[in-house]
Amino acid sequence: MNREISVMNTKVIVSMGASAGLLLLAGCVPASERVQSGVRTVYTGHEGGAYAPQNPTKYDYENKLKFVLLDHDVQRSVTCTVMFERFTEDGRLEVTANLRNRLNRRIEVQVNCVFKDLQGASTGDETPFQTLILSENAQEGVKFTAMNKLAKGYTIRVRQAH
């Protein structure tokens, strides 16, 4: 009887150990593979080396456009009706943008300008954000002047004032 219990305990212990080992190994996936479910794909890692950037051109409006809105609320409430560009007598770029409030209430936004060279890189000349109060359906002009002659392009950025 004791021998039967001992053999049975051994079988139980061996089968539990094997089951535990299979459960541990079943969840392992090599680092370079992916696991796909019905909802999403999960990448488990990378074999090493450098990583490629995620969506490098998805939201790069500041690299392409001259006027960008930095948050959703401003996107609904502000638009730029016209922009004027000119070079001053000493060769600096001067930009004037007419911003319009699209809402039937007064809003407060902040505006700045990043001046860029011919390749689109910042010249290091970025104006501080200035607060602009727009009355109901009103339009206001905002003027920016570069500090040096390097600026050949620009991006005007608008965000909600806090």
Please report, for the domain that includes residue 125, its CATH number: 2.60.40.3230
The predicted structure's pLDDT at residue 44: 52
Per-residue pLDDT tens over the stretch 46-96? 565 676 777 777 777 888 889 999 999 999 999 999 999 999 999 999 999
C-beta neighbour count of 100 within 10 angstroms: 15
Do 84 and 23 share a domain, yes or no?
Answer: no
Which residues constitute the domain of residue 149?
Answer: 61-160
Residue partners of 63: CB distance under 8 A and separation at least 6: 120
Do 146 and 86 share a domain, yes or no?
Answer: yes
Whole-prediction pTM value? 0.67
In a domain, 54, yes or no: no
The predicted structure's pLDDT at residue 13: 72
The predicted structure's pLDDT at residue 53: 73
Do 27 and 72 share a domain, yes or no?
Answer: no
Do 11 and 78 share a domain, yes or no?
Answer: no
Do 73 and 27 share a domain, yes or no?
Answer: no
Counting the structural domains of the chain, the total is 2
The predicted structure's pLDDT at residue 92: 95
Q: What is the mean pLDDT of residues 2-6?
A: 60
The predicted structure's pLDDT at residue 25: 61
In a domain, 52, yes or no: no
In a domain, 110, yes or no: yes
Do 35 and 82 share a domain, yes or no?
Answer: no
Do 91 and 127 share a domain, yes or no?
Answer: yes
In a domain, 131, yes or no: yes
Per-residue pLDDT tens over the stretch 106-149? 999 999 999 999 999 999 999 999 999 999 999 999 999 999 99
